[in-house]
Amino acid sequence: MIDKIFDGSLLEALLNHALQFDPAAQEKLAPLEGKTISVALDMREQPWVLRVSGGRFVFEDEALSSNCDVRLRGTIGGFMRLFDQSGRSHGVNEKLYIEGDLHSAQQFQRVMASLSPDFDTVLKNRFGERLGGMLSGAIQQLRSQGESAKAGIESRLQAYFQGEDGQCATREQSNALQQRLSTLRMTLDRLDARVKRLES
């Protein structure tokens, strides 16, 4: 279930929100302009693909993943460690392999290590106080405990989506909810872009 909630548009939102609070973001991302990055985690079938454009990350078609300049693959715990500035060593199951263009891969790692994503704000804005707060707590648990936390998080999410009649939500219901949330987010993003164009 966690793979349904943490989709590519959410990853894009988290990274771009963090970039807003870094005055050197444009400079850091400049060497990666036009580059594509794929993120293949073991919790989902298809990788996410992001392109660097105008000092931001833009979610791209997953079909482009084989031609990306930088390719990341591993566990979600390993991926979350990209933002861990403590220097703490990874657990045995927290793996992340980075392949592709060496210079671009190193620059991407430097940018990620300098970011401090505000998971709480982004998740609550997208999913509401209750579910967003639960997901934010799950992210913090993944960052501190790594892969060992994943089963517990899945269990809590399953319990959250349990219906009033005691029956767990079906995969179709969960997918439908995620689709509605994604559609709403895209609509809000389009409206926000229109407002910004009108203001300028």
Chain segment 166-182, per-residue pLDDT in tens: 444 455 655 666 677 77
Q: Return d(Cα 75, Cα 50) in angstroms, integer.
A: 18
Lowest-pLDDT range, 70-74, 83-87, 122-126, 167-171?
Answer: 167-171
Distant-in-sequence, close-in-space partners of 128: CB < 8 Å, separation ≥ 6:
none
d(CA 118, CA 113): 14
Predicted confidence (pLDDT) at residue 136 exceeds the cutoff of 90: no
pLDDT (mean) for 56-70: 80
Q: Is the pLDDT of residue 164 over 50?
A: no
- Stretch 38-66: mean pLDDT: 82
Burial of 77 (0-12, 13-18, 19+ CB in 10 A): buried
pTM: 0.65
Does residue 28 or residue 7 have the better pLDDT? 28
Nearest Cα to 103, choosing from 30, 51, 49?
30
**pLDDT the model gives residue 52:** 93
pLDDT value at position 150?
A: 64
Give pLDDT, residue 124. 85
Enter the tokens of residue 150.
């994943």
Q: Please provide residue 39's backbone torsions phi and psi, each rounded to the nearest 5 degrees.
A: -125, 105
- The residue that leads in pLDDT, 112 or 155, is 112
Please state, rounded to an integer, the average pLDDT across all residues of the chain.
Answer: 76
Give every CB contact of residue 4 below 8 A, 6+ residues apart in sequence. 174, 175, 178
Contact 142, 78 (CB under 8 A): no
More confident residue, 81 or 48: 48
Residue 179: what pLDDT?
Answer: 73
